[in-house]
Copies of this chain bind each other. A is one copy, B any other.
């Protein structure tokens, strides 16, 4: 950083501001945007200091890599921030917990406009504020491409709902939009920007943040958020529980915009629903004694595992489509 480097964050790059300049600007912004509850010491010291009111915390980490999880020409900085927060808040939601505190590691090229980092932070804090969570620390460093790593810490007022508690006979239910983000990605991948409602769903997922804790209180036996793909994530739940899941394709909601995109590109729109991720909807299993709360729809049944172990079937048969996203 030379003495003459610009320091106006609307025009400066990360390299112009330098690491501590960037951290300073982000910390100021965070103090305004996302103070968070029970934060005794926020960003700026060696670690954040947080007051824990209950006996359990839940912790999760997720990364976003430019070119892999987002493209800067498809999603602006503010929305990358929202997505980064949403994807992590959703993991706490899927435990039945309440997200409270987040840290962000941002590795980025030195020529990245500082405004990008600040807009990212604004979007991140905006999403976090939906559940009352605060950004309490992080790190900034240089890399060839943007890599965002988020860790979220949450509290549980009831026992966390694991992936491993599903039992044969339980109902499989879904809460939240599903397939919309995959539809939006398919649209963007073909160079289009509409239907706008799907593109927006890809850019700004709307996880059902109220639903996780409520499902836990109602006695959900297992829960997971759909982030890699519905059939793939259903498989993770089935495997952890040692059960099978049979999904009924007719039970899924296939909204009109997905039908339209399917028709336009010659794809069965149920593929967006069964193979899509990143809407961060919740899948949970409930004992039959539990009346499904509002917002949940039953989409299948927990069954005995197959002869070859846990397996997910659709309408009683193996699913032939893409089950979800693979990271390598």
**Which positions in A face B, CB cutoff 8 Å?**
1, 14-15, 17-20, 22, 40-41, 44-52, 54-63, 65, 68-69, 91-92, 94-95, 97, 101, 103-105, 107, 110, 136-145, 147, 149, 151-154, 156, 160, 162-164, 223-225, 236, 240, 326-328
Contacts and interface: CB of A to CB of B under 8 A. Distances in A.
A162 B61 CA distance: 26
A299 to B, nearest CB: 19
A20 B65 CA distance: 17
A1 B40 CA distance: 46
B327 A45 contact: no
Contacts of A110: 328
A49 B103 contact: no
In the complex this chain forms, how many copies of it are found?
Answer: 2
Contacts of A63: 105, 107, 139, 141, 147, 149
A143 to B, nearest CB: 5
A149 to B, nearest CB: 3
A176 to B, nearest CB: 15
Contacts of A104: 61
Q: Which of A46, A61, A97, A236 has the most B CB atoms < 10 Å from its CB?
A: A46
A69 to B, nearest CB: 8
Contacts of A326: 1, 18-19
B19 A225 contact: no
Contacts of A18: 326-328
Contacts of A163: 44-46
A271 B295 CA distance: 64
A60 B41 contact: no
11 contacts: A17-B328, A18-B327, A45-B240, A46-B91, A52-B52, A59-B136, A65-B107, A65-B141, A107-B149, A142-B327, A143-B145
Given A65-B142, A326-B18, A137 B46 contact: no
